[in-house]
């Protein structure tokens, strides 16, 4: 009798999921490294999430990514939650362990920082306060990561102020909350500026925060990556700022899961960016 090793499966759970670039990214890495494996998009309605997730290990899945709207709810289903995922209140990467336990992690924050380190190697997080626009799920990962790398203070403004206040109570006194209408003034003395809102994304309202006070020495980055060069990045570049687009965060947050499921640490380089953009 021949032994047939199982081909590892992974995927991304979301609702909807057709727009996700993750299958193109993981598919590219699988081909590039000549690995056996498949990565598929899986559309799961919220009411079915727990049933589907518990069934996946039995179907041969080594793990999955989790995206909108399941990132918070998945914490109720996981057996083991990393400290950073617990602090952020959301997970994006699951590993189905051999002992049957579901391990949940959040790699958005490390992906965010890795993107800045790669594309702005001279960036110094300690150089001054950081401005974070928005206070949704992605902002929580960004704030957590900025604190970890030593940003002295984080100025945060969100349309719905109580969400920003919640970040202050969860992450502490380094977080200073501003009114949304003050967002333009808030960025003025900041060394790092991050848009974590969906403003400026294709199909969403424009990003209209006034940027004339932006420090030309600031690093400006946008989590939105469709379009790749957002209005925020265009204006910041005109002022003289260093700018970093959001695509690299998507690529870097995916790498740890790929390594765990398929056994190879993938490169995040120009070829990877090109593969995802042209898919
Ligand atoms: P979310 O939890 O739904 O948060 C959305 C944020 O955008 C909130 O702060 C929301 O403010 C704000 N917002 C939405 N419409 C607005 C408007 N008309 N005016 C002002 N503020 C508005 O979503 P998320 O998961 O944090 O994602 C946010 C963005 O980051 C999305 O564009 C997502 O694609 C992107 N993202 C990118 C990466 C990457 O790898 N590059 C990773 C994660 C997320 P309210 O609280 O007032 O609603």
Range of the domain at 160: 109-245
Q: Does ligand 1 come within 6 angstroms of the Cβ of 181?
A: no
Q: Give yes or no: residues 113 and 215 share one domain.
A: yes
Catalytic residue set: 71
- 255 CB within 6 A, ligand 1: no
Please tell me the predicted confidence (pLDDT) of residue 3: 63
Give the pLDDT of residue 4: 67
Q: Is the pLDDT of residue 110 over 70?
A: yes
Q: Residue 66: beta bridge partners?
A: 13
- The domain that holds 66 is classified in CATH as 3.40.50.10860
Examine residue 86 and state whether it is found in any structural domain, yes or no. Answer: yes
| Assigned domain for 3 exists | no
Number of domains in the chain: 2
Alpha helices in 34-191 (DSSP H): 49-55, 83-88, 108-119, 137-148, 161-171, 183-186
Residues 39-91: tens digit of each pLDDT: 999 999 999 999 999 999 999 999 999 999 999 999 999 999 999 999 999 99
Question: Are 93 and 123 in a shared domain?
Answer: no
- The per-residue pLDDT of the chain, averaged, comes to 96
Residues 123, 238: one domain? yes
pLDDT at 5: 74
Determine the atom of ligand 1 nearest the C-alpha atom of 205.
18
Strand partners, 93: 65, 105
Q: What is the pLDDT of residue 6?
A: 83
One domain, residues 156 and 72 = no
Residue 4 lies in a domain: no
**Ligand 1 center to residue 199 CA distance, Å?**
7
C-alpha 161/C-alpha 143 separation (Å) is 16
Identify the DSSP state of 222.
E
Question: Same domain, yes or no, for 39 and 14?
Answer: yes
Same domain, 125 and 239: yes
Structure tokens at 222: 């946008």
Question: Beta strands 130-133 and 154-157: pairing type?
Answer: parallel
Whether 1 maps to a domain, the answer reads no
Q: Ligand 1 centroid vs 230 CA: distance in angstroms?
A: 14
Q: Are residues 234 and 126 in the same domain?
A: yes
Q: Are residues 168 and 269 in the same domain?
A: no
134 lines ligand 1 (CB under 6 A): yes
Residue 50 lies in a domain: yes
Check whether the bond before 227 is cis (ω within 30° of 0).
yes
Task: Supply the residue whose CA is at minimum distance from atom 18 of ligand 1.
Answer: 205
Whether the CB of 246 sits within 6 Å of ligand 1? yes
Same domain as 221, residue 133: yes
The CA 76 to ligand 1 mean position distance, Å, reads 22
Give the predicted TM-score (pTM) of the model: 0.96
Domain check: are 116 and 225 in the same one?
A: yes
Probe residue for ligand 1, chosen from 113, 133, 136 as the CB with the greatest number of ligand atoms within 8 Å? 136
pLDDT in tens, 209-256: 999 999 999 999 999 999 999 999 999 999 999 999 999 999 999 999
Kindly report the CATH number assigned to the domain that includes residue 189. Answer: 3.40.50.720
Domain membership flag for residue 158: yes
Determine contact, residues 92/71, Cβ cutoff 8 Å. yes
Same domain, 237 and 257: no
Question: Is 194 a domain residue?
Answer: yes
Residues 136 and 102 in one domain: no
């Amino acid at each position: 009798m021949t032994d047939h090793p199982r081909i590892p499966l992974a995927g991304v759970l979301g609702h909807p999921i057709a727009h996700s670039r993750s299958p193109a990214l993981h598919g590219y890495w699988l081909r590039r490294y000549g690995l056996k494996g498949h990565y598929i998009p899986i559309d799961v309605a919220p009411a079915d999430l727990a049933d589907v997730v518990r069934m996946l290990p039995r179907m041969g899945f080594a793990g999955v990514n989790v995206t909108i709207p399941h990132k918070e709810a998945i914490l109720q289903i996981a057996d083991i939650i990393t400290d950073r995922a617990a602090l952020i209140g959301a997970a994006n990467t699951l590993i189905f362990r051999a002992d049957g336990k579901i391990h949940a992690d959040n790699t958005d924050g490390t992906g965010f920082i890795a993107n800045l380190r790669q594309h702005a190697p001279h960036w110094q997080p300690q150089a001054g306060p950081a401005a974070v626009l928005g206070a949704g799920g992605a902002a929580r990962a960004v704030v957590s990561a900025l604190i970890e790398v030593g940003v002295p203070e984080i100025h945060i403004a969100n349309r719905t102020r109580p969400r920003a206040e919640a970040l202050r109570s969860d992450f502490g006194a380094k977080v200073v909350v501003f009114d949304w209408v003050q967002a333009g003034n808030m960025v003025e003395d900041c060394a790092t500026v991050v848009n974590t809102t969906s403003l400026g994304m294709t199909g969403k309202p424009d990003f209209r925060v006034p940027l004339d006070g932006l420090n030309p020495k600031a690093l400006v980055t946008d989590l939105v990556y469709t379009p790749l060069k957002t209005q925020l990045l265009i204006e910041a570049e005109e002022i003289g700022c260093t700018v970093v687009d959001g695509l690299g965060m998507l690529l870097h947050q995916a790498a740890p899961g790929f390594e765990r499921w398929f056994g190879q640490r993938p490169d995040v380089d120009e070829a990877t960016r090109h593969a995802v953009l042209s898919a």
